[in-house]
A = this chain, B = another copy of it.
């Protein structure tokens, strides 16, 4: 509970923390109230119910993230530059809030329809331009033939997955927190290198 924020802000911070940690179905309104240091009824005063509080948080996370993607992918940079920028920006971002991806992906999995309608249609980035860029590089013979979707999935996978699977990977390969963090720092440059090394002719 942070003292100097407005009540609404305290609620939002608390809700974000609890939802991200326990997921929609695991989060308790009482937990959120406690975390915010307020009465439970006050939650319902600011946000009608759990669903609306959840949507607010989820939308905030999405509208925070998507524009950044958009900016990178819709720019006039070269393919390589975009890959570099995305990996650095994304990993840097996630390192500050490492549990957001698993939370978001799990909730999307829980309500794919709702996500498609309420979140996606709002401000989803358009991958078409990036895909086109890949096709052109292939056609120009500057990179080896690859389906744009495969390349994009590879990049997203390598950037995001380690955070989603963090506890499993740490156990599997015997890492502790500092090692994990250091490996993730390295990945900001390692992934672009890995990708370019794979597709460059």
Chain A residues with CB under 8 Å of chain B are 22-26, 99, 102, 105-106, 108-110, 112, 115-116, 120, 124-125, 127, 131, 144, 146-147, 149-150, 152-154, 156-158, 160-162, 164-169, 171-173, 175, 183, 186-187, 190-191, 194-195, 197-199
A147 / chain B contacts, CB cutoff of 8 Å: 183, 186, 190
6 contacts between A and B (CB under 8 A): A23-B26, A105-B164, A147-B186, A156-B169, A157-B158, A157-B161
Q: Say whether A197 contacts B144, CB under 8 Å.
A: yes
Report the bound CA distance from A134 to B106 in whole Å.
33
From DSSP, what is the main secondary structure of chain A's interface residues?
helix
Specify how many copies of this chain sit in the oligomer.
2
Considering the chains assembled together, what is the distance between the CA atoms of A99 and B105 in angstroms? Answer: 12
For the complex, what is the distance from the CA of A116 to the CA of B146, rounded to whole Å?
38
Chain B residue with the shortest CB-CB distance to A172: B127
Question: Which of A190, A191, A194, A199 gathers the greatest number of chain B CB atoms within 10 Å?
Answer: A194
Asked whether, in the complex, the Cβ of A167 is within 8 Å of the Cβ of B115, the reply is: yes
In the complex, which residues of chain B have a beta carbon less than 8 angstroms from the beta carbon of A23? Answer: 23, 25-26, 106, 110
7 cross-chain pairs, A with B, having the tightest CB-CB distances, nearest first: A198-B198, A157-B161, A25-B26, A112-B167, A161-B161, A157-B157, A197-B198
Question: Is A169 touching B153 in the complex (CB atoms < 8 A)?
Answer: yes
Is the Cβ of A172 less than 8 Å from the Cβ of B124? yes
If A190-B150, A199-B197 touch, whether A102 touches B99 (CB-CB below 8 Å) is no
